[in-house]
Amino acid sequence: KPSHVVLSPNLTTCHPSFSDGNKPVYCCPPKRESAEPFIDFQFPDPSTQPIRVRRPAHVMDKDKDFVAKYNKAIAIMKSLPHDDPRSFMRQADIHCIFSTGAYNQQHSNSLMKIHRSWMFFPWHRMMIYFHERILGSLIGDDTFALPFWNWDSPVGMHVPDMFLNGSFVDTERDSSHLPPQVVDVNFDELESGLGYEEQKAYNVGFMYTQMISAAKKPELFMGCPYKAGADGYCNAPGTVEDAPHNTLHYWMGSNLNPERENMGAFYSAARDPIFYSHHSNIDRLWEVWRELRSTNNVPEDADWLDTHFFFHNEKSQLIRVKISDVLDITKLRYTFDWVENPWINARP
Ligand code: C2O
């Protein structure tokens, strides 16, 4: 047991909370998770678990078998009852809980929130890791891997086609941003007015800024050090969390809803299946940034490394997982298909 107080949720405290726009929300699980025993995270066994290869969504769009499989997995997940922690709504609720501060911290009455700090990358990695494994288990495929929405590359700068059909559909999206519209990675409520090619060029230059020139120190890329306790919340997101992450959430959500729900508000964002491909790309860019730096690329801070969260796995078991558990994706048995990162040489 760590001797210092680390930042972690108290599962007995789930309570009503507020969206970023101050709307009352309630995303707690139907039964108190505290009554449930938890087990500590263990790495998947490399002798029985294949490596899952996450590929670009715009490429997977052409693989009919893959799209059919993924569509079926989401449909099953959406059909599970709400008291099943693997159900789609419960997955979305977990994101709501940790966005709106529905849990308190352990040993403190302060709310637990995982955006706008160095908790952003590891928490979302954990969330989609379990989501991916649950989807795979629902269709009996232990090679199933979440595609990534490759919005940082001109070839992927549109909503991937798979998200327009079947169980991938979310009606709460900005319809003027559906294909062939090109993403605006720095969207700020106003349409940029750029033509498709100009917008792509702008996006590539912006990626260079967020991944390289404005992210030269770990704190700048990772976000500020959020620590346990009442004054621990720091509220300064890393470059990529701020944009394209937040901006594309906002760009995707419906312009007709007050907080651009679903994707535009964190309490509702994970109700849109595209959320998971968005975060698969965020997770990839974290890996790319670490590779570009090679050394001094993770915070060497015991408070961060020992921070733990709880997620249900594909067997509906409650798992306690520490940030230090999720820093080597090979041990987690997944990888990303190699793609070109055209912004690397795009110094504006
Ligand atoms: Cu927790 Cu993309 O947000």
| DSSP letters spanning 124-179 | HHHHHHHHHHHHHHHTT-TT----B--TTSGGG-S--GGGGSGGG--S-B-GGGST
Instruction: Respond yes or no on whether ipTM tops 0.95.
Output: yes
Catalytic residue positions? 95, 115, 124, 245, 249, 266, 279
pLDDT in tens, 28-73: 999 765 678 999 999 999 999 999 999 999 999 999 999 999 999 9
What is the Å distance from ligand 1's center to 279 Cα?
A: 7
pLDDT at 109 over 90: no
Alpha-carbon distance 110 to 150, whole Å? 36
Atom of ligand 1 nearest to the CA of 245: 2
Which residue has the least CA distance to atom 3 on ligand 1? 266
What is the Å distance from ligand 1's center to 266 Cα?
A: 6
pLDDT for the residue 34: 60
pLDDT at 185 over 90: yes
pLDDT for the residue 1: 43
Q: What helix, strand, coil percent values describe the chain, rounded to 5?
A: 40, 10, 50
Residue 287 contacts residue 125 (beta carbons within 8 Å): no
pLDDT for the residue 4: 65
Residues near ligand 1 (Cβ within 6 A): 95, 99, 115, 124, 245, 249, 266, 269, 279
pLDDT in tens, 267-323: 999 999 999 999 999 999 999 999 999 888 999 999 999 999 999 999 999 999 999
What is the Å distance from ligand 1's center to 216 Cα?
A: 23
What is the Å distance from ligand 1's center to 70 Cα?
A: 21
Alpha-carbon distance 117 to 235, whole Å? 6
